[in-house]
């Protein structure tokens, strides 16, 4: 997705629409998948295999276009539908909380308030995420990128796939 060309992406093109892995445990991949979709037949998939006992984060990053490589998103809402597919997440009482979120990055490297599923997102069902960029966002008005992130906190292992679909930026 190039937000200067399209404000909505359903991943029906069969590509990742420019999203690429920016962090994750070894073996983490970002692909376009036909296994799950909120709308249509395809979604962005982050396949995740956490085998260490440390906090783990996986993220798919998209650089936004615009001259000179930034986009003003003041007042815009960024939203997506998310599906966590896998076993139950680690018990937050003993392991800490897991999360799914949308982060918006600025030229200064900081990020706006993010859209978060909150502690311990549901597994096995589609749920919405959205964030509205405030009039005075942290780090300035110019966005340079979007991260779709999944974070597993705790001990033990967790393997599964997180699907993102119907990513939309509305003014």
The DSSP-derived string for 49-97 is: EE-SSS-EEEEEEEEPPSTTS-EE-TT-EEEEEEEEESSPPPPHHHH--
Across-strand partners of 32? 44
User: Where in the chain are the domains?
Assistant: 8-170
| CATH class (in words) of the domain with range 8-170 | mainly beta
Please, which pLDDT band fits residue 71 given cuts at 50, 70 and 90? low
**Does residue 85 carry a pLDDT above 70?**
yes
- In angstroms, the CA 154 to CA 97 distance is 8
pLDDT score recorded for residue 56 = 75
**Does residue 68 carry a pLDDT above 50?**
no
pTM: 0.87
Peptide bond into 68 cis (omega under 30): yes
- In angstroms, the CA 6 to CA 28 distance is 27
- In angstroms, the CA 24 to CA 22 distance is 7
* pLDDT tens sequence across 42-51: 999 999 887 6
* pLDDT tens sequence across 16-41: 998 999 888 878 899 999 999 999 99
DSSP states along 32-58: EESS--SSSS-EEEEEEEE-SSS-EEE
Averaged pLDDT of the chain: 80
- In angstroms, the CA 81 to CA 85 distance is 13
Average pLDDT over residues 122-130: 94
In this predicted structure, which of 53-57, 64-68, 98-102, 107-111 has the lowest mean pLDDT?
A: 64-68
């Amino acid at each position: 997705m190039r937000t200067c060309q399209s404000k909505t992406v359903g991943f029906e093109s069969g590509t990742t629409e420019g999203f690429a892995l920016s962090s994750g445990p070894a073996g983490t991949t970002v692909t376009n998948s036909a296994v799950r979709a909120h709308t249509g037949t395809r979604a962005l998939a982050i396949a995740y295999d956490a085998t260490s006992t440390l906090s783990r984060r996986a993220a798919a990053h998209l650089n936004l276009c615009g001259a000179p490589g930034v986009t003003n998103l003041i007042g815009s809402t960024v939203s997506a539908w998310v599906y966590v597919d896998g076993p139950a997440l680690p018990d937050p009482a003993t392991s800490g909380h897991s999360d799914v979120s949308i982060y918006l990055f600025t030229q200064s490297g900081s990020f706006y308030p993010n859209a978060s599923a909150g502690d311990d997102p549901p597994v096995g069902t589609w749920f919405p995420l959205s964030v509205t960029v405030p009039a005075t966002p942290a780090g300035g008005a110019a966005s340079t990128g979007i991260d779709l992130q999944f974070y597993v906190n705790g001990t033990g292992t967790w393997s599964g796939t997180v699907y993102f679909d119907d990513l939309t930026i509305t003014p």
